[in-house]
Amino acid sequence: MTRKIVKNIKLFREFLRLRIAVIKEYPINLVSDLGMRFLEFGFFFIMWKSIFGAKGIIPGWDIPSLMVLYSFESLFIALLITFTYSAIGMWKNIHEGRIDKYLCRPTNPWFMVIGERMGMAIGGYFVGIGGLVMCFFLFDVQLFQPALIFGLILVLLATAIATLFCMIMATMSFWFGKIEFIDSIFDSLMEFDQFPQNIFPWQIQTALSITLPFLFAHTIPTLSLFGKISLMETAQWIVVALGVVALNYLLFSFLWNRGLKRYEAHGG
Amino acid sequence: MSRPAIEIQHLTKEFPLSEKGTGWFSFIRPKKKILTALDSISLHIPEGEIVGYIGPNGSGKSTTIKILTGILTPTRGNVRVLGYVPWEQRYEYTFNIGVVFGQKSLLWWDIPPFECFRLYKEIYEMDEKTYQQRLTYLSNLFEIDEFMHTPTRKLSLGQRMRCELVASLIHKPKVLFLDEPTIGLDVVAKQRMRDAIREINEKEKTTVILTTHDMKDIEELAHRILILNEGKIIYDGTLEDVRKRFIHENTVMFELVRITNPTLFSKIIQPHRIQQNGQTFNLTFDRTAFSTKKILDDLFDCCEISHFEVNEPSLEDVVREIYDTKNRQKH
């Protein structure tokens, strides 16, 4: 087990090195990514300011907290681009028989596919971290507190949940072949990303928590940072998120192992 | 005889197929059909052997390779490669094998092969010193030194395939599976690949399983050939045997200046098939009943000949004949 973890860390380092080599090959992508993120950040700020005025239209939310929410969201989206987007496309690899080259090597096919395709999303990380720092200077948001650490842990757990959800969906390809609909499901769920999740009914919050958990990714971290929920409550949310990760992982392992036995390696 | 690297007993692979009808709602209850890709094949391959695994498209070659490499799970049968059951002990087993799929690249399109080799170093858990030694050896053998730092997308197909082979041999596998490794390559690139594969086999006693449609690959590399048709092995033997068993005719092509003894000439050509194109003749005869030397001696006795060649059918012709015979028997 330890051997595999060490190996995967080394492999991840290699993937990062290769990704940086690709960025060096096409620097224009980095420039456009950064530009787009800054534009989006500005648009988000103007949108909320125009719609709600200075503060208080949604109970408990104002411009500073919405900007922090957006910063966490940027971080989450960047992590989705790095890890989750390639998992969404995995069904194509399964359907077209393109996981062969990973299955015949001593490595995990998922790790290889995610590593090979991970987007660096440097703009997203930059705006996420930069947004938090900006909120610290502009709105006097207290960043140096345990709630920030808890918040970042929740963002990572939310990424794990979303990635596992996409992996679960992709395994459906073993049974149903071409499952283009999962791209649409993902895109539809992404529509919820810019809004505080506690404004939605509990049914939607629950459904999103096991698929694309914006609640864990930005709402709880922001509420925690502003002291609207206690540190203990935040820790409880971390436990809940861990539970969802475990649940999704178990379901994924079951489907993957069953699916591999059905794998037909089409395409030559 | 060395111990078997690969043992296969009654290997069967069936794929379920759904036959969709033409009606609007036929997708609700499609007809089920079973496609038997491999039909109870058994074979033993000793260590260090190069086996040419050939057959027409859809005969089951790639399915066999995919089962032997742990990609597919068979429907029935037993397989042991180097003592492992490939699909059950996939992780440990795959440290010992190398695989090249001619149509599925191991390299990253945008970055140089050299960078990818380092990724494979980590996948196969190699230490730095062993990796460097191995890379030096392979880059010399495959002559990739001058372009392995160039992005893959800028390489020619031949250069890329050589890099693919280096990537699959970097960890010194005991068994190498090559699924159409020379597909699309020019003659020079093919020859270079064959020479390198032969050297690896001779030096490292690597067992090589080669599927290809290029009979020249088989003639130059394989110690033994297996011919597969419709999921069954229809021939298993040496190249020499296949020639003896299936090649019954030779052709003598000669360019005639003049006939000095017409009676003898008629007598010589009478039992055989002859095709004439101007002054060029093709005389085809049953080589099991007539000696090539005797026919040539007789021809020189009755004719003045400016040029001659003795041709036996190529392996490609032989294989085509085997497939056709089997199909005729079936129908």
How confident is residue A108, by pLDDT bands cut at 50, 70 and 90?
A: confident
Which of A28, A103, A105 would you mutate first to test chain B, the one with the most B CBs within 10 A?
A105
Which residue did the predictor score with more confidence, B328 or A67?
A: A67
Which of B34, B65, B66 would you mutate first to test chain A, the one with the most A CBs within 10 A?
B66
Whether B4-244 shares its CATH topology with B248-312 is answered: no
Q: Check: CB of residue A237 under 8 Å from CB of residue A154.
A: yes
- The residue ranges of every structural domain in chain B are 4-244, 248-312
Return the bridge partners of B81, or none. Answer: B6, B84
Instruction: Say yes or no for a CB contact (<8 Å) between A106 and B123.
Output: yes
How confident is residue A135, by pLDDT bands cut at 50, 70 and 90?
A: confident
Q: What is the pLDDT of residues B90-141, one digit of tens each?
A: 999 999 999 988 777 888 888 899 988 999 999 999 999 999 999 999 999 9
Q: Which of residues 66-105 of A touch B (CB under 8 A)?
A: 98, 100-101, 103-105
Q: Tell me the CATH class for B4-244.
A: alpha beta
Lowest-confidence region among A30-39, A196-205, B31-40, B322-331? B322-331
Taking residues B168-188, report their average pLDDT.
Answer: 88
Out of A26, A103, A263, whose CB is closest to B90?
A103
Residues of A within 8 A of B105 (CB-CB) are: 101
Instruction: Say yes or no for a CB contact (<8 Å) between B97 and A104.
Output: yes
Structural element, H or E, at residue B245:
helix B239-246
Please provide the average confidence, as pLDDT, over all residues in chain A. 85
Taking residues B268-287, report their average pLDDT.
Answer: 87
Q: Check: CB of residue B210 under 8 Å from CB of residue B39.
A: no
CA A14 to chain B, closest CA, distance in angstroms equals 6
Q: Is B125 on the interface with A (CB under 8 A)?
A: yes
Q: What is the pLDDT of residues B215-267, one digit of tens each?
A: 888 888 998 999 888 889 988 888 878 777 777 788 889 898 888 888 888 88
Question: Does the structure show a pLDDT above 60 at B170?
Answer: yes
How confident is residue A268, by pLDDT bands cut at 50, 70 and 90?
A: very low
How confident is residue A56, by pLDDT bands cut at 50, 70 and 90?
A: low
Burial of B15 (0-12, 13-18, 19+ CB in 10 A): middle
Looking only at the bridges linking them, the beta strands covering B232-237 and B76-81 are unpaired
Q: Is B55 helix (H, G, I), strand (E, B) or coil?
A: coil
Q: What is the 3-state secondary structure (H, E, C) of A115-138?
A: HHHCCCCHHHHHHHHHHHHHHHHH
Which of 3.30.70, 3.90.320, 1.10.1200, 1.25.40 is the CATH number of B248-312?
Answer: 3.30.70
Q: What is the pLDDT of residues B113-127, one digit of tens each?
A: 998 899 999 999 999
Q: Residue A237's pLDDT is what?
A: 94
Q: Residue A148's pLDDT is what?
A: 92
With CA atoms as reference, the chain A residue closest to B124 would be A106
Q: Residue B323's pLDDT is what?
A: 72
> Which of A193-207, B76-90, B92-106, B295-309 is most confident?
B76-90
